Amino acid sequence: MRKARVFLAGLLGVGLLVLVPLAQGVQAAESGKSAQSIRLEFEEFKLENGLRVILAEDHSAPTYSISVTYDVGSRNERPGRTGFAHLFEHMMFQGSEKVGKGEHFILIFNNGGGMNGTTNVDRTNYYETLPANQLDLGLFLEADRMRSLVINQANLDNQRNAVQEERRLSVDNRAYGKTFEAIFETAYDNFAYKHSTIGSMADLDAATVEDVAEFFRIYYAPNNAVLALVGDFKKKEALAKIEKYFGDIPAQPPPSEPDMTEPEQKGERRKTLEDSFARLARVDIVHKIPPANTPDWYALDVLGEVLASGQSSRLYQKLVKEEQVAVAAAGGVFMLRGPSILLLLALARPGKEIAEIEKLVYEEIERLKNEPIEDWELEKVRMQLRHQRVQQLQSTSFRARLLGEYAVNFDDPGLINTIGEKYLQVSKEDVQRVARKYLKQSNRTVITTVPKPAETAEAKPGE
Amino acid sequence: MKSRKFFLPYLLAAALLVTVCAPGWAQAPGQDSKAVSVSKVERKGLAPVSKEILRVKLPRPVEATLKNGLTVLIMEDHRLPAVSVNLSITGAGPLFEPSDLPGLAVVTAQMLDEGTQTRTSRQIAEEVARLGATLGASSSFGSAASAISASGLSDNFEEWFALFTDVLLHPAFPADELDKLKQRLKASLRQQRSSPDFLVSERFNRAVYGDHPAAVRSATPESVDAFTSEALAQWHRERYAPQNAILSFAGDVSASDLLPKLEKWLGEWERTELEIKLPPNPTPVPAKKVYVVDRPNSVQTSLTMGNIAIDRRDSDYIPMVVMNRVLGQGPAARLFLNLREEKGYTYGVSSSFTALMYPGPWRVGGSLRTEVTEGAMTEFLYELGRIRDEAVPEKELEEAKRAMVANFALSLERPTQLLSYARTIKIYGFPEDYWDTYPAKLMAVTAAEVQRVARTYLNLDTMQVVAVGNAGKIKEIMEAYGPVEVYDTEGNPVAEEAVAATEAAEAGPPAEVAGEWELTLLGPQGSITRLLRLAQDGGTLTGTFAARRGGEAPLTGSVKGNSISFAVTRQTPRGERMVEYSGSVDGGTMKGTMQVGQLSLEWTAKRKE
């Protein structure tokens, strides 16, 4: 610790630290409403190379979490080059100038920490949680790979196969594994969300080392990333270390924004999949809705909760309990930065028809259009959201990831505090209005997944 | 986005997130059969690491016993305005279920919130939701306990905790709700048979536990039919006893305020005479056995192997923890570094062991693509052999122990984790300072102790092996590891002939190979070409192979699809000797390898015109 302070003084002394405070904490959105208002104090800075830094000190446990969120997801991919964002996430563990291949895992786990990396349509993130005395380790590991990732043919070949293995596990060897691909493929017209994050094997096979290096240069630049640090550290010390490890990584020209415009859907779309592992038929009903963090999206989120979240939801009570046509019903909105969707799904009870389930779902949708939701339902959603937010804030890792995600997706890390207010602004009338506006048949996609008839007749004579 | 909404995490995770380390680790830097580059893990040792281990003192909860014998643990944590509650009732778990009613304890727990004397199922669901709380009861197969848990905000704690006590004390087990639940259960019994994870655990537990009730992993359609409201009510009346239960709270509550209220709220829950009597302990299975579960269309093989080892109180527990960490717990362990990082066989691979009130198994396993089933078995056996036969190098051992001790700091972020440590002390009767001295005990484990427990428990001659996958492709491979029994996904044994038929169907019709061939053996000193005559009856081969000094040696073999194998019996001065040929057929040519003893040569063959 003493050593670190000396370092800090040295750094400040020669003036290497170029920091621009952007915000001094955030205002309490719900202050005075009740003892329940939870506010996460954080501060924002920007390094000279454009790296956005968010710091939230919390000394209640001797731990800290770091997240680095890059503003790149599968939405940035172009036709013929799908699966790159995710392939990259794997490449980020293959070694950099000062970190050997696979050494990242060993360093984190041998020092008592935990880590992961995830990719979705909108962004890619990497995160670690470590004991507080290993602050340098986490910063060093993230900085070294941002600066000097090793990109060569062997690593690329190796990781292509890795992605295939992951696909086998999560898509090809699992019941309903291909259903989600079909939902996005069918519902969307714009390529950005239409193709799956895991990508096409043919595209991955076609990727060259040059393609990958170019992708790294464009998207894995400090000015395209947000670093969030939450936990047991001192702000000044942490900033000095961040400058030390990240400060000299060169900025790159900003990447171009992908075109996310989605043409209005003009008619219902339907698709049926056969699934050799599924034992029960399943229906997924999707409506396209506006991007997350817009007033209509919040209203649709409330609608989704009322309609399909948990055992008290209308669909669970109707489909599973009253009519007993389904054995499970669930749903809700996706929180996407581009045009989003509301998804409703049900697993059919053996012997029951999907058509019967659909009819009941559409009746419930009509009810939402024709009459306002009940007071207790609105209260329920508000209470549940509040409880969820409190739970989310428990782990430093989740806080770090959420700050990074809100910064990248919505340019607003403060949403972590203000999101509750946005839900409070949703009225019963808003819910009814968005039901009428978006839950139309012409804006609907229905994917039915049916168990594939067994091929035992030819494969297993004698049975 | 992943877990902002608790009802959707599974959906969103499945749809949108692809991770480098999925739950239980992940990211498979793989290689397929054509790319044979092996990628070694490389340690540069340049990262700044603090040499000090951050040792932490774990806070202890307030502890009290209510008049009815209920143990209460309260971990005050006022960082956030939320509370979570867990009630663990030993004696009410599936371990004590009558053998003809598997699932009775589980269904009793599931029915608790489906109606009480004053509230309907729907009212409970709506009230819980309106309060922004969660409430659920669960019971897992193999467990001695059933549990009820709840969480919510602290400002309406008393309201939602009233629902908790209502479902605990006054469940009504309404018949109409039970009928509905039975329908849902039957559907889920059906759906779970498509899951390789379920099929592995079902077969593995049967294999290692034998007659012990922990062998049971699921209700059956017959037991579901047999459940009645009265049977559930009786189980609840007789097995939910306060003197055998621990009620724990974590979060924004005050112990001094809460304890007197608990006496009032739970006063009517009366102490009973029920004593916990465990069934006779399971013992290690004495003979090696391999179980193949045929899951058609599988593109992966899910492997698990192991045998019964120790219970939680065993003095070998701590050396086992260290041994397990070195062998296969987490991405810095040997199994992960070998099978995933170096060989690229799998996305996830690990070892673990179960140690509860009764002895449970050690196990290693993972899901691997079908084509590398054999390679993976080789590596599993190599790693099991290595940890038995060689002392763990000092540096590796130190790192493993250090990792575990340092990880305690992370548990301070999770009061519920601290409570589970406290419950362990209570359940197993450990001394109060058990967790305070635990790091020192871990650090004291020596390489010799690790090797001793590995040799004692990881017995390769008796271990039970389960492989769930495409039997047509893996059964023959698995035969190398012990006598094989094949099951279908319904759990029924499959006859030998049916497996053979599947294998044949999988391989396609046998290639036509009858006739005369010129077979060339490629040796280090040049090649030799001799005449091979084959006769074929479906997949069965007979024939002769010309001998070096004239004459012909008989052969027998088989063709499956384009794969051919045959064995030639040669008379030598020292008696009969088998020479084995295997390879593939491509129209008028064949190629493969020949094996005799330790010697292996490549061969090619051309159909004689």
- The DSSP secondary structure of A163-200, one letter per residue, reads HHHHHIIIIITSTTTTHHHHHHHHH--SHHHHS-TT--
Alpha carbon B376 to chain centroid, angstroms? 16
> What's the DSSP call for residue A134?
G
For residue A29, the one-letter residue type is A
Give residue A436's pLDDT.
98
Of A366, A323, A367, give the one whose Cα is nearest residue A346. Answer: A323
Other C-beta atoms lying within 10 Å of the C-beta of residue A7: 15
Q: What is the pLDDT of residue B469?
A: 96
CA distance B402 to chain A (A): 7
CA atoms of B407 and A257, how far apart (whole Å): 41
Per-residue b or e along A67-77, where b marks 16 or more CB atoms closer than 10 Å to that residue's CB: bbbbbbbbbbb
Task: List CB contacts (< 8 A) between B132 and chain A.
Answer: 380, 382-387
d(CA B125, CA B145): 24
Q: Return the pLDDT at A18.
A: 31
Listed in sequence order, the residues at least 6 apart from A318 whose beta carbon sits closer than 8 Å to its beta carbon are A360, A364
Taking a C-beta distance cutoff of 8 angstroms, is the pair B301, B367 a contact?
Answer: yes
Min Cα distance B189 → chain A (Å) is: 10
**Stretch 306-325 of chain A: residues touching chain B, C-beta under 8 Å:** 308-312, 317, 320-321, 324
Alpha helix locations (H) across A94-190? Answer: 103-110, 135-148, 153-167, 179-187
The gap from C-alpha B429 to its chain's centroid, in whole angstroms, comes to: 28
Q: What is the CA radius of gyration of chain B?
A: 30
Q: How far apart are CA B17 and CA B11, in angstroms?
A: 10
Rounded to 5°, angle at Cα B191 from B188 and B194 = 150
Q: CB neighbours (10 Å) of residue B118?
A: 9
Helices (H) and strands (E) in chain B, counts: 19, 21
Q: Are A54 and A229 in contact (CB under 8 A)?
A: yes
Say how many CB pairs under 8 Å bridge A and B. 353
Rounded to whole angstroms, the Cα distance separating B218 from B425 reads 29
Residue B582 has pLDDT above 90, yes or no: no
The minimum CA-CA distance between B565 and chain A, rounded to whole Å, is: 23
Order the strands of the B71-76 sheet from edge to edge.
B62-65, B71-76, B245-251, B82-90, B145-153, B134-138
Chain B touched by A110 (CB under 8 Å): yes
Contact yes or no for B369 and A168 at CB 8 A:
yes
Q: What is the pLDDT of residue B522?
A: 81
Closest to A329 (Cα-Cα) out of A319, A339, A340, A337: A319
| Alpha-carbon distances of B474 from B205, B293, B369, B544, B574, rounded to whole Å | 21, 10, 11, 30, 35
Is the pLDDT at B292 greater than 50? The verdict is yes
How many of the other CB atoms lie within 10 Å of CB of B433? 10
Distance from the B542 Cα atom to the nearest Cα atom in chain A, whole angstroms: 26
More confident residue, B58 or A183: A183
CATH of A42-246, one of 3.30.830.10, 3.30.420.590, 2.40.50.140, 2.60.40.1080: 3.30.830.10
- Smallest CA-to-CA distance from A27 within A36, A14, A12, A37 is with A37
User: Do β-strands B71-76 and B134-138 pair in parallel, antiparallel, or remain unpaired?
Assistant: unpaired
Quote the tokens at residue A434: 């968005």
Q: In this complex, is the C-beta atom of A92 within 8 Å of any C-beta atom belonging to chain B?
A: yes
Whole-model pTM: value is 0.82
Does A16 touch chain B if contact means CB atoms closer than 8 Å?
A: no
Rounded to the nearest 10 degrees, what angle do helices A153-167 and A84-91 cross at?
110
Question: A356 pLDDT exceeds 90?
Answer: yes
pLDDT at position A37 is 61
pLDDT over 90, % of chain B: 69
Mean pLDDT of B106-123: 97
Check residue A26 and give its pLDDT: 27
pLDDT-based confidence at B58, cuts 50/70/90? Answer: confident
Contact list in A for residue B344 (CB cut-off 8 A) is 158, 161-162, 165
pLDDT tens profile A116-150: 899 999 999 999 999 999 999 999 999 999 999 99
- Distance separating alpha carbons of residues A64 and A52, to the nearest angstrom: 18
Kindly report, residue by residue over A407-458, the tens digit of the pLDDT. Answer: 999 999 999 999 999 999 999 999 999 999 999 999 999 999 999 886 543 3
Q: What mean pLDDT is predicted for residues B70-86?
A: 95
Q: Which residue of A has its CA nearest to B152?
A: A387
- Tell me which residues of chain A, numbers 281 to 300, contact chain B at a CB-CB cutoff of 8 Å: none
- The values of phi and psi at residue B90, to 5°, are -70, 140
Put simply, the answer to whether A117 touches B19 (Cβ < 8 Å) is yes
Question: Under an 8 A CB cutoff, do B410 and A347 touch?
Answer: no
pLDDT band (50, 70, 90) for residue B16: low
Tell me, what's the pLDDT at B3?
A: 29
Residues of chain A with C-beta less than 8 angstroms from the C-beta of B193:
279
Q: What is the DSSP string of B404-432?
A: HHHTHHHHTT-HHHHHHHHHHHHHHT--T
A370-374, B158-162, B421-425, B555-559: least confident range: B555-559
Selected residue of B113, B370, B410 to mutate for chain A interface (largest A Cβ count, 10 A): B410
Residue A161 has a pLDDT of 75
Whole-number pLDDT of residue A320: 96
**Picking from A131-135, A164-168, B148-152, which range would have the lowest pLDDT averaged per residue?**
A164-168
Confidence class of residue B583 from pLDDT cuts 50, 70 and 90? confident
Please tell me the distance in Å from A183's CA to the nearest CA on chain B. 9
- Give the domain ranges of chain A: 42-246, 269-451
Mean pLDDT of B408-418: 88
Helix (H, G, I), strand (E, B) or coil at B44: coil
Contacts of B152 in chain A (CB under 8 A): 387
Interface contact A461, partner B, CB < 8 A: yes
pLDDT exceeds 90 at position B161: yes
Given an 8 Å threshold on Cβ–Cβ distance, is B53 in contact with A112?
Answer: yes
Rounded to an integer, the average pLDDT of A109-117 is: 92
Chain B CB within 8 Å of residue A180 CB: yes
Residues 398-457 of A with CB under 8 A from B: 398, 402, 405, 454-456
pLDDT at B538 over 50: yes
For A446-461, how does the pLDDT look when each residue is reduced to its tens digit (9 = 90+)?
Answer: 999 999 886 543 333 3
Residue B359 vs residues B280, B283, B284, B316, B324: alpha-carbon distances, Å = 10, 8, 9, 12, 16
Of the candidates B191, B367, B410, the beta carbon closest to that of A129 is on B410
**CATH T-level assignment (fold) for domain A269-451:** Cytochrome Bc1 Complex; Chain A, domain 1 (3.30.830)
Q: Which residues contact B351 (CB under 8 A, 6 or more apart)?
A: B324, B327, B328, B329, B333, B335, B362, B363, B364, B365
Of B54, B6, B63, B23, nearest to B419 by C-alpha is B63
- B226-257 residue pLDDT tens: 999 999 999 999 999 999 999 999 999 999 99
pLDDT tens digits, one per residue of B366-385 = 998 898 999 999 999 999 99
Q: What is the pLDDT of residue A21?
A: 31
Q: Do A42-246 and A269-451 show the same overall fold?
A: yes
Compute the nearest-CA separation of B64 from chain A (Å). Answer: 26
Spell out the SS3 assignment of B369-410. Answer: EHHHHHHHHHHHHHHHHHHHHCCCCHHHHHHHHHHHHHCHHH
Give how far Cα B465 sits from Cα of A228, B140, B457, B460, Å. Answer: 45, 23, 15, 10
d(CA A173, CA A178): 10
The gap from C-alpha A140 to its chain's centroid, in whole angstroms, comes to 25
Q: Tokens representing A446? A: 């229905």
